[in-house]
Structure 1
Amino acid sequence: MKSHLPVARAMLFCAPLLLAVSACSNGGDDDESLPPASSVFATPQASGSAVGADVGWSAADSSQVTAYSISASSTGQPTVSKIVDATLRSATLSGLTTDQDYTVTVVAQYAEGASSATSTSVHTPRITNTLAEIAAFQNAADYSASHNGDAVMIMRDGQIVFERYVGSYNRDDLHVLASGTKSFSCALMLAAEGDGILKRSDVVADTITEWKSDPNKSKASLLQLLSLQSGLSTNPDYKPADVADLDTYQLAIDDPANYAPGQAFIYDPLAFQAFALMFERRSAGTDPIDYLQSRVFGKLGISGDDYVWQRDAEGHPQMAGGASISAPVWARYGQMMLQHGTWQGARVLPAQGVEDCLTYPNPAYLGYGITWWLNRDVGDTYDASVDVVPADGLAATGANQIAPRAPSDMVMAAGTGHQRMYLLPTQRLVVIRLAPLTTELDEWSDDEFLARLLAASTS
């Protein structure tokens, strides 16, 4: 019984790297009665052979701050520091040493020398790939190419450390993501929550009022919608190949719901169209992609020229699978997620919200969070008699998780043709794998690909 518990061209890069760790704590010999800066974080920063950190923070709760002092210290290494104006909320520390643990501290300075400090931890990785890593990356790329792959790109600590593009495909070419597109809805939800447009606890039928008369749809929350446990059971009139000729919002309104919320995991693309419709109605008609551009993509240096988004016959964006984007640009989005919602000294999305999307304990299917596939043991939450899980999200043969040889904290965005973005927090990696949509029926194993790619780190 189902449980309801919660001929290829290769490039190798040896760029300097840096990783930020999210935990923050008060520290230093400061006056604890004075308000400190809060939400301190550091993100990767590299320029040529130099490594550093982009540091960001929220202002101290006081109008009496005269300046902020930022420093990075590590045992046996010189301390790097700078003082910035009290109006600033970010700074870059340069000249750090590679492969070291640093403590980055932001001190709110007050008159007469008083201060209050907050710190976070940072590790600066080595500059070069090891020979074992180079061999592992090449081995994984060989596996991808043998399955008709177009590209493998690996980013570590925000720096591209391996690329291979096959045939006529180039690094800057836009590539269809198919259902890899779904992961952007997490960012849309979090940004909209931050702007007070909606909350994940909202009952969808309060906005899509056409659902109020349905005994199942009337109860579904936005969280249940985006974690695919709302009960929606796939409208037979929806065909991904025919989106340009359909009204996907109306199809979402008419979508049947054969289960009460929380009873089944149903991989229904129209759940994402229902979310887009809900967002538009709550935001006075704001286009979801325009909003993503202004609130998320633009802050990552991504412009409207960096992607193409498919739309239906009524001009509605295809949120379930409509994005085409290049490997490096998609990886940029993944790196922001890996950094708990931060980018180059600025917060893009709330840290806890990002954590929720990547770890949500879905009671209907533990292998899926909020718009992302999760590499954790699904226990007894998979029931083939009620759940509808695509092959990409099913556990590997003989296992109870997607990739048993990969770390359990691996998170994946996946699409038809085995489009992949893997987030690997333990290894500080974002990995992109792209292929033609026609490779859908080709035998592919996420476990085999990741086992090859991570061989150097697990040996």
Structure 2
Amino acid sequence: MPRWSRSAALSAIMAMAVLLGIEMSCGTANAAPAELTRCAVTDGRKPQTATPEEVGIDSAALRDAVRFAADPTRRNVQVFRNNCLIATGPRNDQTGGLPWNLWSSTKSVVSLVAGIAIDEGRLRLDDPIDAYLPAGLGDAAHRAITVRSLLTETSGVQVAVASEGVTGLAQLDPNVVAQALAMPIEKPQGVEWKYSQRAVDLLVYVVQRSVGADFQAYAQRKLFDPLGIRRTDYYWGRDRSGNTYGYAHLVMPPDDFAKLGLLIAGHGDWQGRQVISAEYLEQASRPTPTNQCYGFLLVVNGPGCTVELPGLPADAVKMGGMMRQDNFIVPSLGLLVSWTGVTVPGGAVSFPHDVLRGIVAAFREPRLPDPGPYVQQPDISLADPMISNPDATFGALGLGPYAYPGCGPLECLGAPLAPPFGDWPPGCFVLGCAGPDPATPGIR
């Protein structure tokens, strides 16, 4: 057996360690950590992929979290880091291209479109909407509401969350803009946060007036086209006067919904093009004085807001819709967790928390603190006037004390109304779109 010198033996041992992938250290000199993989976003249909380990995440722990997330209520589950798709649900191949109602995540899309108009100088945050409305529409108090107050849900108008939205389920609304301007003002703007559906419908109309183009056409050209989201792949509902709904009814494939989350995670940059400014997104993701957990139609991670975004850094935001149509986005981590589905009555309220807790536990670079078990939150009563108020429903139909003058079930503001569901494509209903008809939206 040959005799080796001490230095030769040490060299041989270190060489063997390198071959076996063992990290060695000697004295104070440590091996540099491997660079995390980064992918490029694409306007195509297939995102780049990576293994969890390549982006600093433990695959076994992530697999457990995604397995738990992929319960029967979730049609589609996607996890990205650094723009790389690293995990999917078992039904993604069947559901990724089928449009699904994003419900209130539509509000966050409205915020993105408004941000583009602000970037272009066509819309100004602190302008009263009087600067954009046609003469004679709405009274002075409503016209004094600012764009910022609509974006932050602090307009001061009366709110009845369920009653405002129920007529849109059957597309019965004569004119959601007129209805927003008919809702009574309860408080001065900017002093109290209340989750208004009609205020976001009004914001859509204000953006449309500011850019001088149909809201959906502007959104397509400025937001969707750069991301490769085709006009034929989604449906966005309108009321019977042709106004685009802002509070819900953007019916979009999950694969395209995820692209919107990646755009926010990338600070508005898409393949080197600044689709929306990082400055606007930073402001939109900031807590507001009236609600530390809400920015510009986005759920944000302000002080004490861990219920919605457990264990995630302060820059985490959420696009959130009814029945859990959610994008959880953390720009500092390059993280996106996107899912859609139908949450049934009686479903575990701790479900999002438990899934995110599992994903947090899977992080290796960096390590993230465990948010702990879910803490039960107070129930919201459906009888609360902020949730239900029959006058809001009747008013939307042009009836009762909340009806806008000149708006009724057959005509509004001197114009005849389209029939309910008049513009819905074949194969589409309130939850989503499916079917073989060439006119049915979807990714094919």
| Same-fold call, TM cutoff 0.5 | yes
Counterpart among 41, 51, 55 of residue 128 in structure 1? 51
In 1, are the aligned partners of 2:97 and 2:254 still within 8 Å (CA)? yes
In 2, are the aligned partners of 1:375 and 1:401 still within 8 Å (CA)? no
Residue 319 of structure 2: aligned partner: 413
3-state secondary structure, aligned to 2:130: helix
- Do structure 1's residue 190 and structure 2's residue 115 form an aligned pair? yes
Q: Which structure has more helix as a fraction of its residues?
A: 2
Q: Quick one: distance in 2 between partners of 1:356 and 1:132?
A: 29
- Give 2:225's aligned amino acid: G
- Do structure 1's residue 340 and structure 2's residue 267 form an aligned pair? yes
Which one is further off, 185-194 or 229-238?
Answer: 229-238
| CA displacement at 1:319 relative to structure 2 | 1.5
Which one is further off, 230-239 or 425-434?
Answer: 230-239
Q: Quick one: distance in 2 between partners of 1:45 and 1:168?
A: 18
Structure whose alpha-carbon radius of gyration is higher = 2
Q: Quick one: distance in 1 between partners of 2:164 and 2:43?
A: 50
Counterpart among 208, 215, 222 of residue 295 in structure 1? 222
Residue 18 of structure 1: aligned partner: 38
Q: Quick one: distance in 1 between partners of 2:300 and 2:179?
A: 28
- Do structure 1's residue 365 and structure 2's residue 291 form an aligned pair? yes
Residue 78 of structure 1: aligned partner: none
Residue 70 of structure 2: aligned partner: 145
Residue 443 of structure 1: aligned partner: 348
| CA displacement at 1:406 relative to structure 2 | 2.7
- Do structure 1's residue 431 and structure 2's residue 359 form an aligned pair? no
| CA displacement at 1:344 relative to structure 2 | 0.7
- Give 2:199's aligned amino acid: A
3-state secondary structure, aligned to 1:154: strand
Within-5 A mapping of 1:219-368: 219-234=144-159, 236=163, 238-239=165-166, 241-242=168-169, 244-246=171-173, 247-284=175-212, 286-359=213-286, 361-368=287-294
Q: Quick one: distance in 1 between partners of 2:42 and 2:99?
A: 26
3-state secondary structure, aligned to 1:305: helix
3-state secondary structure, aligned to 1:454: helix
3-state secondary structure, aligned to 1:231: coil
In 1, are the aligned partners of 2:42 and 2:227 still within 8 Å (CA)? no
| CA displacement at 1:321 relative to structure 2 | 0.8
Within-5 A mapping of 1:138-217: 138-146=63-71, 148-166=73-91, 169-208=94-133, 210-214=137-141, 217=142
- Give 2:359's aligned amino acid: L
| CA displacement at 1:412 relative to structure 2 | 0.3
- Give 1:443's aligned amino acid: A
Q: CA RMSD in A?
A: 2.8
CA spacing shift, 1:137–1:348, aligned 2, 3 Å: same
In 1, are the aligned partners of 2:76 and 2:92 still within 8 Å (CA)? no
Aligned pairs, number: 319
In 1, are the aligned partners of 2:43 and 2:228 still within 8 Å (CA)? no
Q: Percent identity?
A: 21
Q: Quick one: distance in 1 between partners of 2:167 and 2:293?
A: 24
3-state secondary structure, aligned to 2:354: helix
| CA displacement at 1:202 relative to structure 2 | 0.9
Q: Quick one: distance in 1 between partners of 2:276 and 2:171?
A: 31
Q: TM-score, normalised by structure 1?
A: 0.64
Residue 301 of structure 2: aligned partner: 375
Structure 1 residues 383-421: Cα deviation after superposition (integer angstroms, max 9, x where no partner): xxxxxxxxxxxx5xxxx6423433232110111101110
Structure 1 residues 173-224: Cα deviation after superposition (integer angstroms, max 9, x where no partner): 222211111111122112212333211111123334644433xx34421011
Q: Which structure has more strand as a fraction of its residues?
A: 1
Q: Quick one: distance in 2 between partners of 1:151 and 1:174?
A: 11
Gaps of 5+ in 1: 1-15, 20-42, 52-125, 379-394
- Give 1:267's aligned amino acid: Y
